[in-house]
């Protein structure tokens, strides 16, 4: 979910967002449906792509599909026999994602799994272990998603999570009404990745904050 654009972020987007027609159509569609603020920017997608390539990710999980913007960016970095399992509670959003990306030569790598993520994750466990988990859904469940990732990521696998500044609330800015319950979860989430000893980690200070860890 996006906060107010700063000149710095506009510059990063201008230079480092390589949006082609398909990604642009996904973005435009989300903006038309007033959910454009929920998807990552091309620049943030570039960070995910950079990490996936560097770590040679082949089998990935995404929690939070929306219209498939980040899904497609991740899928484009996977080898031709790579797979991305993308989970969303909203089946209609996933159907829209399928339609919007069907002409992309990398879309065949994506498996869409509708339903509450906590249940869907159980159904894909036998496909693991995974090389990457990208968390970008309901903030209150981030610790549950981290617990799952701890168990199902390969050693050397990537954990990435968006919105981990929780709109500034984790470092003391007033939290939004809708984030009150998620605040303690997000603080614990960041602290656990930083200090559990399981990850080499950092929090990339994008506009929203993107916590990343490589499992030891």
Question: Rg of the chain's alpha carbons, rounded to an integer?
Answer: 16
Q: Interface with ligand SAM includes 128 (CB under 6 A)?
A: no
Taking CB under 6 A as the rule, does residue 164 contact ligand SAM? no
Instruction: Please give the Cα distance from 58 to 63 (Å, whole number).
Output: 17
Residues in binding contact with ligand SAM, number by CB under 6 A: 19
- Binder among 31, 90, 127, 191 for ligand SAM (CB under 6 A): 90
Q: Could you tell me the two tokens for 138?
A: 């309901």
Q: Interface with ligand SAM includes 208 (CB under 6 A)? A: no
**Cβ 6 to ligand SAM shortest distance, Å:** 19
Window of 64-72, 99-107, 125-133, 196-204 that interacts with ligand SAM by CB under 6 A = 64-72
Residue nearer to ligand SAM on the CB measure, 137 or 198 = 137
Binding stretches for ligand SAM (CB under 6 A):
1, 38-40, 64-66, 69-70, 87-90, 93, 116-117, 136-138
């Amino acid at each position: 979910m996006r906060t107010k654009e700063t000149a710095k972020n506009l510059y990063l987007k201008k230079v480092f967002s390589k949006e082609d027609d398909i990604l642009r159509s996904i973005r435009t569609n989300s903006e038309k449906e007033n959910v454009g603020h929920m998807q990552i920017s091309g620049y943030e997608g570039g960070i995910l792509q950079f990490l996936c390539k560097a770590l040679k990710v082949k089998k990935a999980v995404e929690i939070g599909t929306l219209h498939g913007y980040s899904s497609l960016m991740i899928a484009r970095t996977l080898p031709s026999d790579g797979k991305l399992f993308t989970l969303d509670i909203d089946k209609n959003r996933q159907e829209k994602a399928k339609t919007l990306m069907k002409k992309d030569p990398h879309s065949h790598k994506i498996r869409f799994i509708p339903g509450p993520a906590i249940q869907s994750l159980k159904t894909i466990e036998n496909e693991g272990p995974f090389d990457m988990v990208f968390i970008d859904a309901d903030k209150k469940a981030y610790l549950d998603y981290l617990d799952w990732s701890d168990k199902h990521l390969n050693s050397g696998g990537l954990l990435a999570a968006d919105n981990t500044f929780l709109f500034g609330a984790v470092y003391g800015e007033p939290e939004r009404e809708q984030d009150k319950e998620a605040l303690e979860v997000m603080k614990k989430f960041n602290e656990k990745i930083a200090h559990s000893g399981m990850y080499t980690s950092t929090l990339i200070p994008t506009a929203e904050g993107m916590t990343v860890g490589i499992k030891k």
